[in-house]
Structure 1
Amino acid sequence: MIEFEPGQLQEGDALVIVDVQKDFLPGGSLAVSEGDAVVPVLNRYIGEFHQRGLPVYATRDWHPPDHCSFREQGGIWPPHCIAGTEGAEYAPGLRLPATAVTISKATTPEKDAYSGFDDTDLAARLHAVGVKRVFVGGLATDYCVLNTVRDALNEGFGVMLLRDAVRAVDVQPGDGDRAEREMESLGARPVKLGAR
């Protein structure tokens, strides 16, 4: 893993925060173990990007109540992140700037979307402002982070995986580690922010 200094951030960089929502935190309906631990780390990244005028994007699951991923509809997950509910809100303490762009995904009953790029305008927005490299962190490593990173690479972006700002569901033990290895094999670079 590479440590990078905030001074290495440059024009063309963007921060993409994946699904840091209440339902994915401890106590939520689809809790990720230690999911809340990413919040203070991401706040450091947010501060550095915002201070330099670099864009911040935050994806969120924004499901209808009858979403296909829910067990009642034949999916594999308990109901979570239903649009407009408290569980779909961003994590308390996540300090998103007023300029952050929210990207809602999996908004129709019949289609799931793990990636922040799936049926959204995220790629178009990034290209429109000249983004070349995305720094990706959030929840969960083995699902929405993995798929967002895959699609970012397919869209031609350089990807820096924020290893200190992701946590895994680990439905099968080791899923998170396997997802990190896959992302690296596809070309994502694992990094963490150096101490000031």
Structure 2
Amino acid sequence: MECLIVIDYTNDFIDDDGRLTCGERGQKIESRITELTKHHIEKNDLVIFAVDVHEEEDPYHPETQLFPPHNIRGTKGRQLYGQLGSYFHEHLQRGDINYEWIDKTRYSAFTGTNLEIKLRERGINTLHLVGVCTDICILHTAVDAFNKGFSIVVHKDAVESFNGIGHQWALDHFKNTLGAMVIEGVAKD
């Protein structure tokens, strides 16, 4: 069984006015992420939205010293961006779609969440990863998935980062070090 994990595709990471935005680099994958989300929903795969969450002025979070405040709980910045956000609000919240929303407070979608439990109880063994940032949250999630024995598919045309060099390095790392399939243009069934 398979699962699509959409990581951090929020206004704060993608919108021009986002607090920690990839901007145009992240915006160019909007249609592909939405297309893959629809594809996995139509296949009745589990779709997980793993979304970064922070508390306003949290002095104890390790990212506080590294990045400006972003994805603050209850703000517009934490909402899904663009077409994906519209699709989510129009279709997914009806309750008839197989999805989960996971609040994550660290780079990896596994750290401090019940993600692994949700995957194991459904017999899921293959994870499709999309979203941002390729060399931060996608990377850390992929490393944890590898160490937990999951097969990994990274959709090259549905991940992006602030940093082009970091993005390319992570794509190579997924393939050469984690044994992930790095694909683009087709949905892996």
TM-score (norm 2): 0.86
1:189 corresponds to 2:181: yes
1:40 corresponds to 2:56: no
Match of 1:154 in 2: 147
Match of 1:103 in 2: 102
1:31 corresponds to 2:21: yes
Alignment of 1:3-152 (within 5 A): 12-25=1-14, 26-33=16-23, 34-67=25-58, 68-69=61-62, 73=64, 75-94=65-84, 95-96=87-88, 97-98=92-93, 99=97, 100-106=99-105, 113-152=106-145
Deviations 1:102-141 (A, max 9, x none): 01011xxxxxx10101110011101110101010010110
> Hey, what's the Cα distance between the residues in 1 that align with 2:127 and 2:28?
21
TM-score (norm 1): 0.83
**8 Å CA contact 1:57, 1:103 repeated in 2:** yes
**8 Å CA contact 1:69, 1:77 repeated in 2:** no
> Hey, what's the Cα distance between the residues in 1 that align with 2:158 and 2:83?
15
Deviations 1:156-186 (A, max 9, x none): 110000101011121xx51111111112121
Deviations 1:50-109 (A, max 9, x none): 111111001111101123245xx5x11011000111111111220232332101011xxx
The structure with the largest helix share of the pair is: 2
| Gap runs ≥5 in structure 2 | none
Q: Secondary structure at the residue paired with 1:47? A: helix
- Letter aligned with residue 182 of structure 1: H
- Letter aligned with residue 28 of structure 1: G
